[in-house]
Structure 1
């Protein structure tokens, strides 16, 4: 059985810590070693920011395919599956930081943290303030000068705020608000991310937040148009779909990993929400994936 690969950096042992919680490199530095193709994988603890100065490629962000070109800015939070193919002329950079360093840099703006929960692909055109920030980050990456660390910390904070502003502008009004319901919604998202495999009910989450289940449902509907239960089911379903598409785990093992004691019950749960049995979803979903995203055969070396 082969689960979805989990890396710290491209192919590096996940037990290895990033020096000083930060790592900078060009896209070419590592991609060239792999034929300009990075197979789908995820990171447990690292946020990555990828920016293309010139060149092109294709990104797989979960199940979404995105064409990359000059000005593409990809933000990939921990635990989300991603992969890339670049043209050999691609010039760009990758910034990797631990999620704890992300929280340190955004300590003064904690409301920005939830905006880094999902993968993003933005196009940053020449002349945009964020393009200027990215150019300054690259300049510091490529030189060694006095106070380089302090300069990079300041620039990375500015970069993160710029990305958060793009995400905030695209978010529904209810989610952008700094009201109490919006804060409750963000807390529910955080709790759900840590507990979804344990099948906690709505009462558990509402109690942890300090509101009633009715209030929690109202908060969720205002923020994203779904009930709290729908959000719980959607989070479990998202993980199931990732494993079905990007791993060769058997359905019964996927069910167990998601807290289902009975694989048959999991299959009924999946089919009710998706309209397909897990095996049917795996077959039809893989048919739509780009070739580089396909998991290797079960008997492949590796």
Structure 2
């Protein structure tokens, strides 16, 4: 059974840890070795930032195909599937950091951390403060100067704050406030991400947060427009869709891995929310994806 591969760096097995908290390289340095194609994968413990100075290509971000061009900035948190195809003239950089290092750099602005929980693709125009910070980071990255590590950390903090500001500007005003409901909502998101496969009851999450199920539903509706149960179902559904599109796992194995007692129950759940049976979704979804995203056919002889 083939799952979506999990890497620490492009094409590097996940058992090989980063030698440091931070790694950076040009896009060409690794992509050229793989024919300018990075097949779909995810990182279990690392956040990645990819910035294109020139050239372009195409990104696969959680099933969405998005064109890449000069100024494209992709922020990819842990555990989210992504892949890339670059044109051979692409000039850019990739920065990889551990989650603890991200928290260390943003220790002074903890409210910014939730803004790095979902993939982003931004276009950063020339002259923007974030573009200037990225250019300074690249210059320091390519230089060998005294106190280089301290300079890179300072510049990377500027880059992270710039990315957070982009995300913050897109948030509804209610979600931007550091209110108690907002903190409860972020706590629920964190708990849900850690154990969504178990499909625990709303009361479990409410108790862990220290509020009632009714309060949790109200918090979720205010912040996302969905009830707590809808958010639980949406998270389970998102993982099911990933496995259907990017792995060759059988339906029954996907169902069991997501806490369903049998494949029939999972299929009814999936069809009710998506309007297609899992097999139909897999076939139609792969037909719309770029060829590099589709798992190779299994060898009957192997």
Question: Does 2:277 correspond to 1:277?
Answer: yes
| TM-score, normalisation: structure 1 | 0.98
Partner Cα separation in structure 1 for residue 199 and residue 55 of structure 2: 45
Q: Which runs of 5+ in 1 are unaligned?
A: none
Question: Does 2:111 correspond to 1:111?
Answer: yes
Name the Cα RMSD after superposition: 1.3
Deviation at 1:300, TM superposition (A): 9.1
Which runs of structure 2 are paired with 1:62-211 in the superposition (5 Å)?
62-211=62-211
Deviation at 1:90, TM superposition (A): 0.4
Deviation at 1:301, TM superposition (A): 11
Name the count of aligned residue pairs: 302
Aligned to 2:52: 52
Which runs of structure 2 are paired with 1:225-264 in the superposition (5 Å)?
225-264=225-264
**Secondary structure at the counterpart of residue 50 of structure 1:** strand
Deviation at 1:72, TM superposition (A): 0.3
Asked if structure 2 preserves the Cα contact closer than 8 Å seen for 1:57 and 1:86, the reply is yes
Question: Does 2:7 correspond to 1:13?
Answer: no
Moved over 3 A (4+): none
Deviation at 1:37, TM superposition (A): 0.7
**Secondary structure at the counterpart of residue 189 of structure 2:** helix
Aligned to 1:33: 33
Partner Cα separation in structure 1 for residue 161 and residue 299 of structure 2: 45
Most deviating of 285-294 and 240-249: 285-294
Aligned to 1:214: 214
Partner Cα separation in structure 2 for residue 116 and residue 141 of structure 1: 23
Deviation at 1:261, TM superposition (A): 2.0
What do residues 134-175 of structure 1 show as CA deviations (whole Å, max 9, x unaligned)? 001101110111111111111111111110110111112222
**Secondary structure at the counterpart of residue 66 of structure 1:** strand
Partner Cα separation in structure 1 for residue 200 and residue 228 of structure 2: 11
Asked if structure 2 preserves the Cα contact closer than 8 Å seen for 1:93 and 1:138, the reply is yes
Partner Cα separation in structure 1 for residue 111 and residue 214 of structure 2: 24
Asked if structure 2 preserves the Cα contact closer than 8 Å seen for 1:45 and 1:78, the reply is yes
Using a 3 Å threshold, how does the CA distance of structure 1 residues 224 and 71 change in structure 2: closer, same or farther?
Answer: same
Deviation at 1:199, TM superposition (A): 1.1
| TM-score, normalisation: structure 2 | 0.98
Asked if structure 2 preserves the Cα contact closer than 8 Å seen for 1:10 and 1:30, the reply is yes
Partner Cα separation in structure 1 for residue 92 and residue 299 of structure 2: 35
Partner Cα separation in structure 2 for residue 10 and residue 246 of structure 1: 17
Aligned to 1:42: 42
Asked if structure 2 preserves the Cα contact closer than 8 Å seen for 1:2 and 1:298, the reply is no
What do residues 89-121 of structure 1 show as CA deviations (whole Å, max 9, x unaligned)? 000000000111111111111111110011000
Partner Cα separation in structure 2 for residue 8 and residue 301 of structure 1: 31
Most deviating of 257-266 and 26-35: 257-266
Most deviating of 168-177 and 26-35: 168-177
What do residues 47-68 of structure 1 show as CA deviations (whole Å, max 9, x unaligned)? 0000000001100000111111
Using a 3 Å threshold, how does the CA distance of structure 1 residues 34 and 49 change in structure 2: closer, same or farther?
Answer: same
Deviation at 1:256, TM superposition (A): 1.0
Partner Cα separation in structure 2 for residue 58 and residue 301 of structure 1: 34
Deviation at 1:297, TM superposition (A): 1.5
